[in-house]
Amino acid sequence: MSAPPQATTVGVIGAGPAGLALARLLRLAGVDCVLLERRDRAYVEQRQRAGTLEPATIDLLRRIGAGERLDREALFLDGIELRFAGRGHFVDFAALADGARLAVYPQTKIVQDLVALQTQDGPPLLFEADVHTVSDLDGSRPTLGFRMAGRDHTLRCQYIVACDGAYGIGRRTVLAAGGHLQEHTYPYAWYGILADVAPSTDTLLYARSDHGFALHSMRSPTVSRLYFQVPADHVPEQWADEAIWDELARRLAAGTGWKLERGPITAKSVIGMSSELLAPMRVGRMLLAGDAAHVMPPTGAKGLNLAVADANALCQALLVSEPADRERALDQYAQQRVLQARRVERFSRFMTRTMHIAPEDDAETAARRLGVLERIAGSPETAQLFAREYVGRSRAEAA
C-alpha cells in the first residue's frame, strides 16, 4: 500500500454521514481534503442507524451526486401518522408544510453511496486510520496523528474537522479546552427490531399508548423497522420474538380493523435516549460537526439531518477565500450551528416527552400530553407548527 498523504488543506476525522458529506462537498468545490476513519469499510457501511431524510438533506445528497439510488429506492412520505387514544391522525405535509416530502432511506445506504463516491474519485478516504492526537490547533499548521497498519503517521492540515461522533477526540479536545456539555438522559430507551415482513403502514407511525411508545418504520417494501419504549436498562436478550410482536401489537393497536403483520426478526438492539449539546464547536483551527457536537433523541429523526446540515454550512465557511473573512465565517458557523442544535433539541425533547410515558408521569401529566396530541390533531395552526418543525421547514426559514 502506498504511504498515506502527509499534508492536506482539510483533515476530516470520521467517515459517518457528517464527514462523508463534508469531504464530498469540499471535493466538488476543489478543496483538498483527507478523510480518516478508524473502522473498516464493511463496519461503517453496515452500522444500523435511523434514516429519515428531510427535504434539505435529500436536496444536498442529490447535489453531491448521491441521489441516484436514493431516488430509486427511498420511500417518499407525504406525512406521518400520530396514533394515540386508539385512533390514528395523519399529519399531512402537503397541506401543512408546503408539500414537503420525507424520504425513508437507511443510513447504511447513504454511507455506502458516499463511500463509493469517495473511493471512485477521491479525496483520499483512509479506513482503519485511528486518529490519536490533534496538535497545534492554535498555530498555523494543525496536525493529526494517526495509527494505520501498525504504524504512526502525521497529517499536517490547514483546518481539522472532527466528525468523529459522540465519543471522539474532537469532543474530548473541546471539553479539555473548557467547553461545556449539556446533557439530558431520558428514563427510557428504545428496543429496535428489523423484520422480514412488509410494513403494515405506508407512512411513519408514531404511537403513544397506555403501555408506552411504539414506532413503526420501514427499510424497504419487504423489511420493517419497529421500536418500542423500554426501561433504560433493558438488554436485547430479555425479549423473545413473540413477546416483542405482542408488545408492539398492543401499543400500535387502533380501534379499526388495522393489523400488525408479523415476520422473522433479523436484528434486535436497545438504543439509548439522550440529548447532548456541546459548545463551542470550535477550538482554534479545529471545528466540530454532527454527533461530535450534538446528539438528539431519535424521536424527531433529526440526528442525521443535523449532521449533514452542519457539513453543508461548514463547507461554505471553509470556502471563503479571504483569510480574515474565513475566520469570521467559521466563528459564525460555530455559533449558528449551536443555536440550530438547541432548536432541534427543544423540538426533539418536546416530541419525545409527548409520545413516551416516563416512570414519574402521573395521570395529570398523561392527560396533558394527550391534550397536546389532541391539539395537533384538532387545530390546523398547531398541526402546522408541528409539521413545519418536523420536516425542518421552520429551521430553514430561521437560518
Look up residue 298 and give its DSSP letter: G
Q: Which of 29, 5, 16 is nearest to 288 (CA)?
A: 16
Q: Is residue 201 near ligand PHB by the rule CB under 6 A?
A: no
Q: Is 276 helix (H, G, I), strand (E, B) or coil?
A: strand
Residue among 317, 314, 337 nearest 325 (CA):
317
Q: What part of residues 221-240 is at the interface with ligand PHB (CB under 6 A)?
A: 225
Among 248, 298, 383, 386, binds ligand PHB (CB under 6 A): 298
CA separation for the pair 252, 246 (Å, rounded): 10
Cα Rg of the chain, angstroms: 22
What whole-number distance in Å separates Cα of residue 334 and Cα of residue 139?
19
Using CB under 6 A as the binding rule, whether residue 391 contacts ligand PHB is answered as no
- Among 49-57, 151-159, 165-173, 262-270, which window interacts with ligand PHB (CB under 6 A)? 49-57
Least Cβ distance, residue 267 to ligand PHB (angstroms):
12
- Whichever of 43 and 76 has its CB closer to ligand APR, that residue is 43
Closest CA to 376 of 344, 354, 396: 354
- Closer CB to ligand APR, 58 or 383, in the complex: 58
Selected binder of ligand PHB within 21, 31, 60, 204 (CB under 6 A): 204
User: Which CB sits closer to ligand APR, 113 or 291?
Assistant: 291
Within the chain, what is the greatest distance between any pair of CA atoms?
66
Among 301, 309, 329, 391, binds ligand PHB (CB under 6 A): 301
**Nearest CB to ligand APR, comparing residues 26 and 373:** 26
Q: Which residues neighbour 224 within 8 Å (Cβ) at sequence distance 6 or greater?
A: 194, 195, 197, 198, 199, 200, 216, 217, 218, 261, 263
In angstroms, rounded to a whole number, what is the distance separating the alpha carbons of residues 52 and 317?
A: 26
Q: How far apart are CA 41 and CA 117, in angstroms?
A: 13
The residues that touch ligand APR, with contacts defined as CB under 6 A, are 13-19, 36-39, 44, 49-50, 130-131, 163-165, 168-169, 290-292, 303-304, 307
Question: In angstroms, how far is CA 314 from the centroid of its own chain?
Answer: 17
C-alpha cell at 308: 449533514
Minimum CB separation of residue 141 from ligand APR in Å reads 19
Q: Which is nearer to ligand PHB, 158 or 299 (CB)?
A: 299
> With respect to ligand PHB, which residue has the nearer C-beta, 208 or 225?
225
Among 50, 70, 111, 372, binds ligand PHB (CB under 6 A): 50
CA angle 109, 124, 112 (to 5 degrees): 5
Residue 169 binding partner per list ligand PHB, ligand APR, none, with a CB distance cut-off of 5 to 8 Å that depends on partner kind:
ligand APR
Q: Which does 217 bind (CB under 5 to 8 A by kind): ligand PHB, ligand APR, none?
A: ligand PHB
Exposed/middle/buried for 266, CB within 10 Å: 0-12, 13-18, 19+? exposed
Nearer to ligand PHB, 186 or 333 (CB): 186
Q: How far is the CB of 207 from ligand APR (least distance, A)?
A: 21
Does residue 51 bind ligand PHB (CB under 6 A)?
yes
Return residues touching ligand PHB (CB under 6 A).
50-52, 204, 215, 217, 225, 298-299, 301
